[in-house]
Amino acid sequence: MPANLTPVYYEAERKYKTARSVPERVAALQEMLAVMPKHKGTDHLQADLKSRIAKLLDDLDKPTSGPKRTTNPFNIRKEGAGQIALVGYANAGKSALLANFTGAAAKVASYSYTTLVPSLGMLPYGNVQMQLVDIPAIDAPATQTSLFGLLRNTSLFALVVDLTGDPVSQATSLMAHLADWGFELLGLQHDQDTAEEDQHRGKPVVLVGTKADIEGGLDGYQALEMAFESKFPVVMTSANERLGADDFADAVYQLLDVVRVYTKTPGQAAVLSNPLVLSRGSTIYDVAEDVHKDLLKGFKYALLWGSSGKFDGQRVGRDHEVADGDVVELHI
């Protein structure tokens, strides 16, 4: 059976053949797979494309070879309610933002490509923490392949732009760069089902304007807000004055689309300082599994206090969907 490949497919194939980096090759292969007619005549070609994509992605996760093999600093374990990558160009203010908003040690300088490996910090939001990752400039030649692997696994993109230097053009360029790598940038009104289809490609986005305290910063923020506020959250910050830290934390938490759930032991008060953080739409089953998988074996029911129930102390089953702030008492 003939494949009947379309001109759109051949254009994506041309992109693949001319691609110079792993991110570009993966993006082109994914596009070829997406636009290809799906029938028996393309079964083998589909399998070949999936195999090539898998191999490229697998190569990203392999440790650096050589006589002195070390851990890849771009393989970062997620911690807290979610992992947020600070994405931007050189001197956008990413490192200063990380240092001032989280207290983490970060190298801050006025010359290009200060950040050569990711730096980490924890951003508080109420009684949870979110992991901020200051990554090398997205156009830094030496780190593009490693950076692509990190970005595929992070929860959310914070696009960081300098408000004193045409932030609209910076943001537009960053978005184009990420789109070339195959990422779908999800805005305020994105379809949750679409976001869940491929969490490696679909990434929620917040726009962060830095250096608001410098002359021209307020004008830059107004331009950025006018251009993008209908699609993405836009936050104005100044690392020097810690301006916008709370707005940034709130915007990021909302985009992560998670809920905080508290557990209690029968006969005791709930501990409200260390919640479970679960994806929105999670159920009592997910709560029990997160506490300990063995609880699922003898699970009988749960008692619930919170907005997802009809009344305090309601008895619910494993399929009951929990809401932010719920308190759950598991019975086995």
CATH number at residue 118: 3.40.50.300
Do the Cβ atoms of 232 and 64 come closer than 8 Å? no
Same domain (yes/no): 90, 224: yes
Q: Which residue has the tokens 């004193």?
A: 164
For residue 306, what pLDDT is reported? 93
* Domain housing 310: 258-331
Same domain (yes/no): 134, 227: yes
Domain count, the chain: 3
Write the burial class of residue 123 (CB in 10 Å: 0-12 exposed, 13-18 middle, 19+ buried).
buried
Same domain (yes/no): 174, 185: yes
Same domain (yes/no): 176, 196: yes
Same domain (yes/no): 132, 225: yes
For residue 198, what pLDDT is reported? 67
The percentage of residues in the chain with a pLDDT greater than 90, rounded to a whole number, is 43
Question: What does 242-255 look like in DSSP terms, one character per residue?
Answer: TBTHHHHHHHHHHH
Task: Write out pLDDT tens, residues 147-167.
Answer: 888 898 899 999 999 999 899
Mapped onto helix, strand or coil, the DSSP state of residue 8 is helix
Tell me what the pLDDT averaged over the chain comes to: 84
Last residue of a domain, one of 230, 256, 282: 256
Question: What does 255-321 look like in DSSP terms, one character per residue?
Answer: HHTEEEEEE--TTS----SS-EEEETT-BHHHHHHHH-GGGGTT--EEEEESTTSSSTTEEE-TTPB
Same domain (yes/no): 249, 268: no
Backbone Cα Rg of the chain: 23
Same domain (yes/no): 240, 101: yes
CATH number at residue 316: 3.10.20.30
Do the Cβ atoms of 196 and 148 come closer than 8 Å? no
Indicate the pTM of the whole model. Answer: 0.76
With 50 as the cut, is the pLDDT of residue 190 above it?
A: yes
Q: Label residue 66 by pLDDT band (50, 70, 90).
A: very low
Task: Let me know if residue 323 belongs to a domain.
Answer: yes
- Enter the tokens of residue 185: 């940038």
Same domain (yes/no): 245, 315: no
Same domain (yes/no): 262, 279: yes
With 80 as the cut, is the pLDDT of residue 132 above it?
A: yes
For residue 84, what pLDDT is reported? 95
Task: Write out pLDDT tens, residues 20-39.
Answer: 777 777 777 877 887 788 88
Looking at per-residue pLDDT, the higher value among 71 and 181 belongs to 181
Same domain (yes/no): 19, 109: no
For residue 223, what pLDDT is reported? 96
Same domain (yes/no): 240, 144: yes
Measured CA to CA in angstroms, residue 303 lies from 291, 313, 321, 331, 332 at distances of: 15, 5, 13, 8, 12
Rounded to whole angstroms, the Cα distance separating 228 from 223 reads: 9
Q: How many CA atoms lie within 13 A of 19 on its CB side?
A: 20
For residue 327, what pLDDT is reported? 94
Task: Write out pLDDT tens, residues 215-236.
Answer: 999 999 999 999 999 999 999 9
With 90 as the cut, is the pLDDT of residue 284 above it?
A: yes
Same domain (yes/no): 282, 320: yes
